[in-house]
Chain A
Amino acid sequence: MSLTREQIVEGLVKILGSDKVITDKQVLQESSIDRFRKYEDVCGVYTQPLPAAVVYAESTEEIAAVLKFANDNTINIVPRTGRSATEGGLETVVENSVVLDGSRMNKILNVDTYNMMVTCQCGVSLEVLDDMLREQGYTTAHSPQSKPLAQMGGLVATRSIGQLSTLYGGIEDMVVGMETVFPNGEITRIKNVPRRATGPDIRHVIIGNEGALCYITEVTVKIFKYRPENNIFLGYTLESMKTGFEILREVMVEGYRPSVARLYDPEDGEYYFSHFAEGKCVLVFMVEGPKAIAEVSAKEIENIVQKHAECEKVNSQLIKTWFENLNWDPKKIAEEIDEIAQTQNIGFTTEVSGNWDVIYDIYEACCNRVREEIPDITMMGGHSSHSYMNGTNMYFMYYYNLVDITPEEEITKYHYPINKIIVEETIKAGGSMVHHHGVGKHRTHWIKEEYTSSYYILETLKKAFDPNGIMNMGTIIPIKK
C-alpha cells in the first residue's frame, strides 16, 4: 500500500525533524518545476503534481535514511542541489514525490594542493569553491555559464561542461572520486587515484545519472593552477558558419588546445557582438596555461585563421569584456522573469553534438526548419562552444512571442515542436541529441533512437540500481505508460 501525503511527511519528520521538512504551498509549487517550465513561474500557474514535501538533508546518513524510507515505500525522490536544471530534471511528475535537497551540505572538506584535488559536499556552490581556490592560486577550471547558480552534486549529476572545456574537458574529465548513496541506503565511495584499470570505470555510472540512479553526496575534482595573467583572447568576424567549423576543426586536428573555442552565428551573436560584428559570424578563442605555451598556441591559431581570407581580426579587449560578462547569476534570472512577463517573449536552448562531417548540416537544417515551421519565432540561431578531435557541439538558441495561448500551451505550441525538430534532425544526421544539459524529462521520448542497441545497457543499469523505480522517475528513461 502506498503512503498518503500525510504519512510521507510524518515519516520524513521522524527521520529529519520538522525543521528540515517543508510543506509550504508556494515552496512546493516552485519546487515542482525547473527552468524548462519557467513560464509557469512567470504566470504563477503550476501544472505539475505538487511534491509531498521538500526536505533538506545535512549529512550522507540523512540522505541514506531518506532514500531507504522512500525505497521501502515506493516514494519518488527528486534529488536537487543548485536548482539550475533546464530540461525538466527537477519536475515532480509523479504524485507525492519528495524533493531531496542537498544544498545545505555545503562544506569544502579538503583542499589538497599537492595531489591537486579538492573534495567537497554536493551542495558546495561552484562559484564559492572556485573563488576560494583562486585566492590560493588554483581553480577547478570548470566554468559553465551557470557557475553562480549550480552546485557540485548537480554539476556531476548532469555531466555538465564549462566554457574552458576544449582544454580542461567536461566534468567527467575532472571528477577523481565520489561518495554516492543508492536507493536501498547503500553508501558507496570511489577512491581518489590518478587512474585505474580495475574493470569498467564505474564513475561513469554515477556521472550524468541525473538523479535517476543514485544520490551524489560528495565529490573530489581535480584542481589546476590559476594563471589568468597568461590568458590571450582572439576574436574574428567572418561570413559563414561553414568556414568557422572548418577552422575549429583545423585547430583541433592540428593539436592546439585553446581553453575557449567558440563560433557564433549572426543571429545568436547579435545579442553580444552587435557593436562590432553586426550581421556576421564571430569566432572566439582563448588560450591559457603556462605563458610560453599560451603564446605559441595563440600564434599558431592565428596562423590557421589567417589562411581564411574572410576572417577579420577584432580588438581582443572586445572579447575579454564579453567573456567576463557571460555568466548568469541570480540577478539575471530574476530580470529574465520580469522581461518575459512584460514582453511575452521567451527563449530556450537545445544543445546537441555531431561529428565534423555533419555538424554544419545539422546547424542548417535545424535553423531553416524552425524558422519556417514554428509560428511567432523572433530569433533562431546558435553557437558551437565545445570542440573535440572528432566534432563539436551546436547550442541552439530560440525565442518566440507567446501569442494567444494559455500558460500550459507555451510548451505544446512552441517549445516541444522546436525541440522535436532539433532532436530529430540531429539523430537523423548521426549526432547526439544532448550535449550537456542532460536528458531531463522532455527528451526521453527519443532516448531509444539515441542509444539504439546500447539502450539495453542503460535500461539494465536502471533496473539494477533502482529496482523499485523511486529515483527521479521520468528522467533519462521515460515512464512506461
Chain B
Amino acid sequence: MKILVCFKTVPDLEMLSEEDWAVDSNLAVDVSFVKNILNCFDESALEMTLKLSEYSESFNESLTLTALTIGDKKAEMFLKTLYALKFQKAVRIENNEDVRFFPEVIAAVIAQYVEKINNQDVVVLGRQSGEGDNAKTPLLVAEMLGWPCITQVINIEPSQEERLRVTSMVEGGTLIQVIDTPCVLSVGNAPVSYLRVPTLKDKMSYGKRAIEVLNINVFNIASLLNKCYHEYQLIGLEKISNHRAGILIEGATTAEKAKKLYDHYLKERLEKQ
C-alpha cells in the first residue's frame, strides 16, 4: 500500500511577543525570526503513519511511505529526519508564493502530485495549520481526487485484505471503520502528538538520501492563484486581544463587595446554569 503524508512546517507562533504581532502592508505578520516547527496535526499524522507501518509488518504487508511538503528550504531538515525514520521518499515542492490563505492552491498541487507524479492509495494530512487556520486542505484534496474522506482521525491500523481500520472522533463518541482505499484521512486531536526521534546512527545511514525537489510552476501555480484571487481575498488582519476586562469590585465592606459581585456579575450567570 502506498501512503502519502503531507505536512507543513509552521512558525512557532508561541515565541512571538505582544509587540511582534504587527501587521505589514501585505497583511502579514513577520515570523521570519522565530523557529519552524511541524504543524501539530501533521506531526500526529506522521507519527501515526510510522506506527501503522510498523504494525503492518505483522500483517505481512509493507507500506511505501512518502512525505511531501510544499514550502521553502527550511523544511528540508524535517524531510531528512523523516528519511532517518525510514520514510522511503521525501519530497519538497519549492514554493515562495504567499499561500497562507489559499488552501485551494495547496490542495490542487497535492492532488496533481498524486494523480500525475506519484500514485497513492492513501493520503494523510493534518486537519488544520498555523498561520491560515483554513481547515480546508484535506477536504479539498479529497474532493479534487474524487476520493472519500474521513475527518478527525485519531488512529490508523492495518486490517485484512489491504484495508485500513480507522478510528475517528465524531460528535458524541468515536467511530471505528474498516475501509477500502483509496481514501483521504484528515488527522484531528490524536493522542499521538509527538514524532519519534531518529538515532544518530539512523541519521547517518538513512538520513543522507537526496530530497526530491520539484518546482511548483510544474503545477500551474500562477493560474491556480489567479483563480483564488477572484474567489476570495484577505482584506484585513488585526490582533485579537486576549485580555479580560479585569473589573475591580470596590466597596467599603466585605458584604458590600459580595453584594455587588452577586448583583452585577453573578446572579444572571448563576440563573443560566
**Could you list which residues of chain A lie within 8 angstroms of chain B, going by C-beta atoms?**
270-275, 278, 315, 317-318, 320-322, 324-325, 338-339, 342-345, 371, 376-380, 399-401
A399 in contact with B197 (CB, 8 Å): yes
A378 in contact with B199 (CB, 8 Å): yes
Q: Tell me if B193 is interfacial: C-beta within 8 Å of chain A.
A: yes
Determine the distance from Cα of A376 to Cα of B194 in the docked complex, in whole angstroms.
Answer: 18
Determine the distance from Cα of A400 to Cα of B197 in the docked complex, in whole angstroms.
Answer: 9
Closest to B17 in A: A324
Given A321-B15, A401-B197, are A278 and B34 also a contact pair (CB < 8 Å)? Answer: no
Given A317-B33, A321-B33, are A379 and B200 also a contact pair (CB < 8 Å)? Answer: yes
Given A371-B200, A399-B197, 7 more pairs with CB closer than 8 A:
A270-B77, A274-B77, A275-B33, A321-B17, A321-B20, A377-B201, A400-B199
Q: Tell me if B196 is interfacial: C-beta within 8 Å of chain A.
A: yes
Determine the distance from Cα of A339 to Cα of B191 in the docked complex, in whole angstroms.
Answer: 11
Given A275-B34, A317-B33, A321-B33, are A345 and B197 also a contact pair (CB < 8 Å)? Answer: yes
Interface residue from B16, B36, B199, B200 paired with A274 (Cβ < 8 Å) = B36
Find chain B residues with CB under 8 A from A321 CB. Answer: 15-17, 20, 33-34
Find chain A residues with CB under 8 A from B198 CB. Answer: 378
Determine the distance from Cα of A400 to Cα of B200 in the docked complex, in whole angstroms.
Answer: 9
Find chain A residues with CB under 8 A from B196 CB. Answer: 343-345, 401
Determine the distance from Cα of A325 to Cα of B20 in the docked complex, in whole angstroms.
Answer: 13
B35 in contact with A278 (CB, 8 Å): no
B200 in contact with A343 (CB, 8 Å): no
Q: Tell me if B239 is interfacial: C-beta within 8 Å of chain A.
A: no
Determine the distance from Cα of A271 to Cα of B12 in the docked complex, in whole angstroms.
Answer: 12
B contact residues, total (Cβ < 8 Å): 22
A275 in contact with B194 (CB, 8 Å): no
Pull 8 A–B residue pairs with CB atoms less than 8 Å apart, ordered by A. A270-B77, A274-B35, A275-B34, A320-B33, A325-B14, A343-B194, A343-B197, A379-B200
Find chain A residues with CB under 8 A from B195 CB. Answer: 343
**Could you list which residues of chain B lie within 8 angstroms of chain A, going by C-beta atoms?**
14-17, 20, 32-36, 74, 77, 192-201
Determine the distance from Cα of A274 to Cα of B76 in the docked complex, in whole angstroms.
Answer: 10
Find chain A residues with CB under 8 A from B15 CB. Answer: 321, 324-325
A377 in contact with B200 (CB, 8 Å): yes
Determine the distance from Cα of A339 to Cα of B196 in the docked complex, in whole angstroms.
Answer: 9
Given A315-B33, A321-B15, are A378 and B74 also a contact pair (CB < 8 Å)? Answer: no
Classify the interface of chain A: helix, strand, loop or mixed.
helix
B194 in contact with A272 (CB, 8 Å): no
Find chain A residues with CB under 8 A from B33 CB. Answer: 275, 315, 317-318, 320-321
Find chain B residues with CB under 8 A from A322 CB. Answer: 35
Find chain B residues with CB under 8 A from A399 CB. Answer: 197
Find chain B residues with CB under 8 A from A371 CB. Answer: 200
Closest to A377 in B: B200
Given A278-B77, A324-B17, A343-B194, are A272 and B200 also a contact pair (CB < 8 Å)? Answer: no
Tell me the minimal C-beta distance from B208 to chain A in angstroms.
13
A275 in contact with B74 (CB, 8 Å): yes
Closest to A318 in B: B33
A378 in contact with B35 (CB, 8 Å): no
Find chain B residues with CB under 8 A from A320 CB. Answer: 33
Closest to A370 in B: B200
Closest to A344 in B: B196
A275 in contact with B200 (CB, 8 Å): no
Determine the distance from Cα of A400 to Cα of B196 in the docked complex, in whole angstroms.
Answer: 11
Find chain A residues with CB under 8 A from B194 CB. Answer: 338-339, 342-343
Given A274-B77, A324-B17, are A376 and B199 also a contact pair (CB < 8 Å)? Answer: yes
Of the candidates A321, A344, A376, A379, the one having the most CB atoms from chain B within 10 angstroms of its own CB is A321
Determine the distance from Cα of A103 to Cα of B254 in the docked complex, in whole angstroms.
Answer: 30
Determine the distance from Cα of A320 to Cα of B19 in the docked complex, in whole angstroms.
Answer: 13
Determine the distance from Cα of A264 to Cα of B158 in the docked complex, in whole angstroms.
Answer: 43
Determine the distance from Cα of A371 to Cα of B201 in the docked complex, in whole angstroms.
Answer: 9
Given A325-B15, A377-B199, are A275 and B193 also a contact pair (CB < 8 Å)? Answer: no
B200 in contact with A380 (CB, 8 Å): yes
Find chain B residues with CB under 8 A from A278 CB. Answer: 77
Determine the distance from Cα of A389 to Cα of B192 in the docked complex, in whole angstroms.
Answer: 48
Tell me the minimal C-beta distance from B72 to chain A in angstroms.
10
Of the candidates B32, B33, B192, B201, the one having the most CB atoms from chain A within 10 angstroms of its own CB is B33
Given A278-B77, A321-B20, A325-B15, are A273 and B199 also a contact pair (CB < 8 Å)? Answer: no
Determine the distance from Cα of A272 to Cα of B14 in the docked complex, in whole angstroms.
Answer: 14
Tell me the minimal C-beta distance from A269 to chain B in angstroms.
11
Tell me the minimal C-beta distance from A266 to chain B in angstroms.
11
Closest to A271 in B: B35
Interface residue from A270, A339, A378 paired with B200 (Cβ < 8 Å) = A378
Find chain B residues with CB under 8 A from A318 CB. Answer: 33
Find chain B residues with CB under 8 A from A342 CB. Answer: 192-194
Determine the distance from Cα of A278 to Cα of B197 in the docked complex, in whole angstroms.
Answer: 18
Find chain A residues with CB under 8 A from B32 CB. Answer: 275
Determine the distance from Cα of A274 to Cα of B17 in the docked complex, in whole angstroms.
Answer: 20
Determine the distance from Cα of A24 to Cα of B102 in the docked complex, in whole angstroms.
Answer: 55
Interface residue from A275, A317, A380 paired with B36 (Cβ < 8 Å) = A275
Tell me the minimal C-beta distance from B51 to chain A in angstroms.
11
Closest to B9 in A: A275
Tell me the minimal C-beta distance from B194 to chain A in angstroms.
5
A378 in contact with B77 (CB, 8 Å): no
Find chain A residues with CB under 8 A from B36 CB. Answer: 274-275
A274 in contact with B197 (CB, 8 Å): no
Find chain A residues with CB under 8 A from B14 CB. Answer: 325
